[in-house]
Each structure stands twice: as C-alpha cells, then as structure tokens.
C-alpha cells in the first residue's frame, strides 16, 4: 500500500469501512432478533404451569444455546468493531500524509468521536460542533454494543438456567 496511489487506496478502504459498518449493524440486528426470540420462547415455556420435565429440559437447552449465541455475538461484534477501527486508522494515516489534499473526514471523526474535541468550520452552520453526551459515553465499556447486549442477554440466560436447574433438582 505504500507505493499505491493514495486516492485509490483511500477509495478501497472507504468501501471496506462502509461494508464493515453495514455488516456490523446487520449482524447486531440479527443477533438482537434471535436473542429476543429465544428469551420470548423461554418466557412462554416458563409461564406454562405446571412446568413438566420435558418443558424444563427444553428451557435448559434453550438457555445453553442462548449462552453460546451470546458468546458468539460478543466475539463477532467485537471482531467487526476492531476491523472497522483498523480501516479508520489506515484512512487517518492517508489523510495525515503530506500528499493528501482532500478533506480529512476520518481525522475529524477521530477528533470528534474518540478525542471528544469540538470541530470548527466558519463556513458551516453552526460554525462549531461540540461532542454530545452520547459521543462522550460512546467509548465507555458499558456503552459498547459488543459488551452491553451480550452482557444483558447472557445475564437473562444464566438466570433462566439457574431457575430451571433449581426446579429440576427441587
């Protein structure tokens, strides 16, 4: 990539970054849908009274698959997030090179989102854009979707599993 035309490399990286962001959000939506269906199915089975042995075993199996799906969700979303960060890093490198004459969009994105710096452009309205509360929270561990959603669903599955095992034993 060092000897390639920076504009060509930039276009390729923009395509990779765009498809990575799209795939990340598509996978997130799919995992949320799947986990919601699993939780709803478990809830329906647990609402069935009296809970028979077969339904209790089915809940345990669904919980175990749910835990596996939650682990997979965390790994896959974390990988996509890291990959997108890598493309952004390369794009900022091109924009920071002495040959780059176009707007430095990813440098500005990094300054705004990651460093939480205000951006100024006297020709824009408003001339200054300040980071919002959501931007300031974006990098917190609990605000990251690849952490918070698996943690939420994993906790539900573990609680359902513990309750089902207690019903099986007791």
What is the tens place of the pLDDT at every residue in 51-64?
788 999 999 999 99
For residue 20, how many C-alpha atoms fall within 13 Å in the half-sphere facing its CB? 19
Q: Where are the alpha helices (DSSP H) in 48-143?
A: 53-96, 105-109, 133-137
Residue with tokens 């939506």: 29
Which residues, 6 or more positions from 106, have their beta carbon under 8 angstroms from its beta carbon? 88, 91, 92, 95
What is the tens place of the pLDDT at every residue in 1-36?
556 788 999 999 999 999 999 999 999 999 999 999
Report how far apart, in Å, the C-alpha atoms of 1 and of each of 89, 91, 97, 152 are.
14, 12, 13, 41
pLDDT band at 98 (very low <50, low <70, confident <90, very high): confident
120 pLDDT more than 70: yes
pTM beyond 0.85: the answer is no
137 pLDDT more than 90: no
Percent of the residues in the chain that have a pLDDT greater than 90, as a whole number: 77
Q: What SS3 state is found at 119?
A: strand
> Quick one: average pLDDT of 66-95?
96
Which residues, 6 or more positions from 108, have their beta carbon under 8 angstroms from its beta carbon? 119
What is the reported pLDDT for 138? 77
């Amino acid at each position: 990539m060092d000897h390639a035309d920076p504009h060509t490399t930039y276009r390729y990286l923009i395509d990779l970054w765009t498809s990575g962001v799209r795939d990340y959000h598509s996978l997130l939506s799919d995992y949320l849908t799947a986990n919601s269906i699993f939780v709803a199915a478990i809830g329906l089975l647990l609402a069935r009274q009296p809970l028979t042995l077969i339904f209790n075993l089915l809940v345990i199996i669904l919980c175990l698959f749910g835990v596996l799906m939650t682990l997979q969700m965390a790994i896959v979303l974390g990988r996509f997030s890291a990959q997108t960060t890598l493309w952004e890093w390369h794009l900022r490198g091109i924009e920071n090179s002495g040959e780059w004459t176009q707007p430095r969009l990813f440098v500005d994105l990094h300054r705004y989102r990651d460093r939480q710096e205000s951006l100024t452009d006297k020709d824009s309205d408003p001339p200054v854009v300040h980071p919002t509360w959501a931007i300031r929270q974006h990098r917190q561990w609990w605000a990251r979707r690849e952490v918070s959603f698996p943690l939420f669903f994993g906790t539900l599955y573990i609680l359902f599993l513990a309750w089902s095992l207690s019903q099986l034993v007791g």
